[in-house]
Amino acid sequence: MNITEVALRFIAGGSLVAIISLLAKAKHPLLAGLFLLFPMVTLVGLYFAGHAAGATDLKKIALFSMIGLPATLTFLGTFYALIGRTGLVPSLALSTAAWCVAAAVIAGVVKAFA
């Protein structure tokens, strides 16, 4: 990864976080939620992977990203269930742990059937 790639990821990610924060402060939870799911990391990652990999590899990356979506749903569902009871940081930590478990299960299933 070169410095240009790092800088672009930093700017893109920081901009997205700033937009989400502004929308949340302005009491627009729907828009904040939509921007939260904007695939900035995916977009930038595919862009730079596209310079190193061919279309076949990019199709595999996209496919495995789609297969992994239940892990993101697990994270969000866990966070939704916990935020009113445990507070922000514990909810984020437990949601991340739930994501890791879901991702491991998905990876195991994919590996078993590959």
Q: Does 44 lie in the same domain as 87?
A: no
Question: What's the predicted TM-score (pTM) here?
Answer: 0.77
- Domain with 12 in it: 1-54
- The 3-state secondary structure of the chain reads CCHHHHHHHHHHHHHHHHHHHHHHHCCCHHHHHHHHCCCHHHHHHHHHHHHHCCHHHHHHHHHHHHHCHHHHHHHHHHHHHHHHHHCHHHHHHHHHHHHHHHHHHHHHHHHHHC
C-alpha–C-alpha distance, residues 10 and 12, integer Å: 6
Q: State the pLDDT at residue 93.
A: 97
* Average pLDDT by stretches of 10, the chain with 114 residues: 82 82 84 77 82 89 92 96 97 97 96 88
Give the number of domains in the chain. 2
